[in-house]
Chains A and B, each alone.
Chain A
């Protein structure tokens, strides 16, 4: 028997079809069947969406699920529950697990675990190099066939330009994009925040923005040389944006993502919180000039995606001296609300652009299913209530990670339902 779900009366926003209207969405057997005014339903469930926004499901292109190996920090079960509760219908899982996802066996185990424990789609990302050590390529053909949707050594840069060049070239044969953690190791080593006046006052060792931007520039030029595809991860510096902008103008296959924390906070947060380790991540929070640069590029279109860089850690990893603490914060359960409150509510971008950044573009950048509500597309949907007000309460997170600089923030505009393959996997029942 056909399974049907009618999502009735919501404001449907789908940038892939340039849609923004009050419409009904009919889902049949896990796929989008019809969108229109007053769609008739013959049997099945109805979800009233009046007053809500209905969009193609959000895809987090940059998530650390930590399984296998660091199940004390996060598991596929808890990470995907966090994703669902944050309005995400899919996450791309970074390979810096223990062991690193650098071979088909590990990829298959992740895919299998996601099938049994996962609440949302999990798209594994394979390592660019074996063990992400930057020395030898991993087997991209095997990784892709096992289910990897992209390649990355995230958490570490590919230090050697020659290695990066070969990887870009070789990945082309499999249509895989390289997700690039851009960092010049010699300028990063031993640092724990952004270099600048704030680090100077705090006596913390800082890394300059050029440590990022010169590798961004290098890898865009290498993508140009090889014809490969590069996606810049968690871009944080205004200078990196210049490189991306120029690369795009020349027609290089380059895309990029930014995180909500780099859009909303600066290195001043380290000082204001008196060394709270929830302000420590890599790349670090940058200057106000960099932040303004990111906001401009978000408006202007240079930035393709907003990604969480959800990086859960145990309390023990974070509740230590600042320079000893692990890099990273959680983001899946706050990203959408932070964007709605501060970017849409704050007048930086409109809702359609936000949906593009969270859904349309992540799907396009990595050729993923989803990102659209076109007929026959997977019925992955996110429903938003723009009036819903809620406080960020880490104690109530689904994620095992609780470290966020946004704890206690009251935000207006939250996801209220997440639908994956036509099934409601999470709903806000307040």
Chain B
């Protein structure tokens, strides 16, 4: 069992066995979170920089908790409080941080490819915590871990991914991961938010009822409010009416369907509150699993494998 890459830039280049390794590792490490003293010395002496160029609650907190539990030293830099405000480039910021010899940089950035850019120009391990509309690999991993816990498997699951497919890095990472692991993915969104060529990856429909029919799991994507201005759809009201997940619609899926959402949710837009807070929702399990998955990624990339041997 091993993970051969120095970076985690996306799910696309990973083989199924690598994904399985990360998920299995997360499963084992998750147990630490249930202990009264939630700290192990695994990554003592390792330094991680969290470089966040975009707002984030869950992802950032989750990486920070994972680092603390594994005893890594970490610091978080957000654009609001950094020299980015003074016009420093991404590369200069990263290189200056590197001069302090961190072992890893976790980066969240609005530009697709920003993590690849750092991987090309930096010595540290780079973990992509979301780059533009490209990938958000740890989100897909935590979604998969949640599904595996709830359903006992990924293979053969019918998973509907619904919403803004065009701008969603969560969707892209999940499509890669789920199809690699043998799940069957259907995609659904308004035609204006379905980018060309997406149907090469999985079947696409604009009819939500069709997409939900017999699904084992539903992943709802966040409607990014700023898209309204882009004229992708006329109103939040119509969006909710046509593409929102309501209790009525959930009934089209399997009885034991689980519902995921990467957060932050727009209640009453892509998801009705009764659904978000209903018995199908595993949204809070996702958050806990987020910590476990990030612990696994830190552990595998920072040479935890040797430490454990």
Complex interface: chain A residues within 8 A of B198 (CB): 197, 200
**Interchain Cβ contacts under 8 Å between A and B, 14 examples:** A196-B196, A201-B172, A202-B113, A203-B131, A203-B172, A204-B113, A204-B132, A204-B133, A274-B116, A275-B116, A321-B90, A321-B111, A321-B117, A323-B132
User: Which residue on chain A has the smallest CB distance to residue B197?
Assistant: A197
Question: A198, A199, A316, A322: which contacts B117 (Cβ < 8 A)?
Answer: A322
Asked whether any CB of chain A lies closer than 8 Å to the CB of B56, the reply is no
How near does chain B come to A258, taking the closest CB pair, in angstroms?
24
State whether B134 touches A203 (Cβ < 8 A): yes
State whether B111 touches A202 (Cβ < 8 A): no
State whether A200 touches B196 (Cβ < 8 A): yes
State whether A322 touches B196 (Cβ < 8 A): no
Complex interface: chain B residues within 8 A of A316 (CB): 89
A195 to B169, CA, bound (A): 17
User: Which residue on chain A has the smallest CB distance to residue B132?
Assistant: A203
Question: A196, A197, A203, A275: which contacts B133 (Cβ < 8 A)?
Answer: A203
How near does chain B come to A76, taking the closest CB pair, in angstroms?
29
State whether B197 touches A203 (Cβ < 8 A): no
State whether B197 touches A200 (Cβ < 8 A): yes
Asked whether any CB of chain A lies closer than 8 Å to the CB of B108, the reply is no
Question: B111, B116, B121, B197: which contacts A201 (Cβ < 8 A)?
Answer: B197
Asked whether any CB of chain A lies closer than 8 Å to the CB of B109, the reply is yes
Cβ-Cβ contact count across A and B, 8 Å cutoff: 64
A274 to B131, CA, bound (A): 13
User: Contacts A196-B197, A323-B112 known; A202 to B89 CB distance under 8 Å?
Assistant: no
State whether B114 touches A321 (Cβ < 8 A): yes
State whether B200 touches A275 (Cβ < 8 A): no
Complex interface: chain A residues within 8 A of B12 (CB): 201
Question: Which B residues, 97 to 146, have Cβ-Cβ distances below 8 Å to chain A?
Answer: 109, 111-114, 116-117, 120-121, 131-135
State whether A321 touches B113 (Cβ < 8 A): yes
B residues adjacent to A (C-beta < 8 A): 12, 89-91, 109, 111-114, 116-117, 120-121, 131-135, 169, 172, 195-198, 200
User: Which residue on chain A has the smallest CB distance to residue B121?
Assistant: A319
Complex interface: chain A residues within 8 A of B135 (CB): 203
Complex interface: chain A residues within 8 A of B109 (CB): 321
Q: Write the A177-214 contact mask toward B (1 if CB under 8 angstroms, else 0).
A: 00000000000000000011111111111100000000
User: Contacts A197-B197, A200-B196, A201-B12 known; A322 to B91 CB distance under 8 Å?
Assistant: no
Asked whether any CB of chain B lies closer than 8 Å to the CB of A324, the reply is yes
A321 to B116, CA, bound (A): 9
Complex interface: chain B residues within 8 A of A201 (CB): 12, 172, 197
User: Which residue on chain B has the smallest CB distance to residue A316?
Assistant: B89
State whether A319 touches B134 (Cβ < 8 A): no
A200 to B113, CA, bound (A): 13
Q: What 10 new A-B contacts, CB under 8 Å, besides A200-B198, A203-B134, A275-B116?
A: A195-B196, A197-B198, A203-B132, A274-B113, A274-B116, A321-B113, A321-B114, A322-B111, A322-B117, A323-B112
A138 to B102, CA, bound (A): 56
Complex interface: chain B residues within 8 A of A274 (CB): 113, 116, 120
State whether B195 touches A200 (Cβ < 8 A): yes
Complex interface: chain B residues within 8 A of A324 (CB): 111
Asked whether any CB of chain B lies closer than 8 Å to the CB of A225, the reply is no
Asked whether any CB of chain B lies closer than 8 Å to the CB of A41, the reply is no
Complex interface: chain A residues within 8 A of B114 (CB): 321
Residue of B91, B109, B135, B197 with highest tally of chain A CB at under 10 A:
B197
Asked whether any CB of chain B lies closer than 8 Å to the CB of A320, the reply is yes
Complex interface: chain A residues within 8 A of B111 (CB): 321-324
> Which 8 interchain pairs have the tightest Cβ spacing?
A197-B197, A275-B113, A203-B134, A203-B133, A321-B111, A203-B112, A200-B195, A322-B113
Complex interface: chain B residues within 8 A of A203 (CB): 112, 131-135, 169, 172
State whether A198 touches B197 (Cβ < 8 A): yes
How near does chain B come to A238, taking the closest CB pair, in angstroms?
16
State whether B196 touches A275 (Cβ < 8 A): no
Complex interface: chain B residues within 8 A of A204 (CB): 112-113, 132-134
A197 to B133, CA, bound (A): 14
Residue of A321, A322, A323 with highest tally of chain B CB at under 10 A:
A321
A274 to B7, CA, bound (A): 14
User: Contacts A201-B172, A203-B131 known; A275 to B117 CB distance under 8 Å?
Assistant: yes
A306 to B134, CA, bound (A): 35
A316 to B88, CA, bound (A): 12
State whether A199 touches B195 (Cβ < 8 A): yes
User: Contacts A197-B196, A201-B197 known; A320 to B91 CB distance under 8 Å?
Assistant: yes
How near does chain B come to A402, taking the closest CB pair, in angstroms?
16
Complex interface: chain B residues within 8 A of A199 (CB): 195-196
Q: Write the A265-276 contact mask toward B (1 if CB under 8 angstroms, else 0).
A: 000000000110
Complex interface: chain A residues within 8 A of B197 (CB): 196-198, 200-201
Complex interface: chain B residues within 8 A of A323 (CB): 111-113, 132
A80 to B195, CA, bound (A): 43
Question: Which A residues, 290 to 333, have Cβ-Cβ distances below 8 Å to chain B?
Answer: 316, 319-324
A302 to B222, CA, bound (A): 48
User: Which residue on chain B has the smallest CB distance to residue A320?
Assistant: B89
A206 to B113, CA, bound (A): 14
State whether B195 touches A275 (Cβ < 8 A): no
User: Contacts A274-B113, A321-B114 known; A202 to B134 CB distance under 8 Å?
Assistant: yes
Q: Write the A203-245 contact mask toward B (1 if CB under 8 angstroms, else 0).
A: 1111000000000000000000000000000000000000000
A56 to B119, CA, bound (A): 47
Complex interface: chain B residues within 8 A of A319 (CB): 91, 121
User: Which residue on chain A has the smallest CB distance to residue B167?
Assistant: A203
User: Which residue on chain B has the smallest CB distance to residue A195?
Assistant: B196
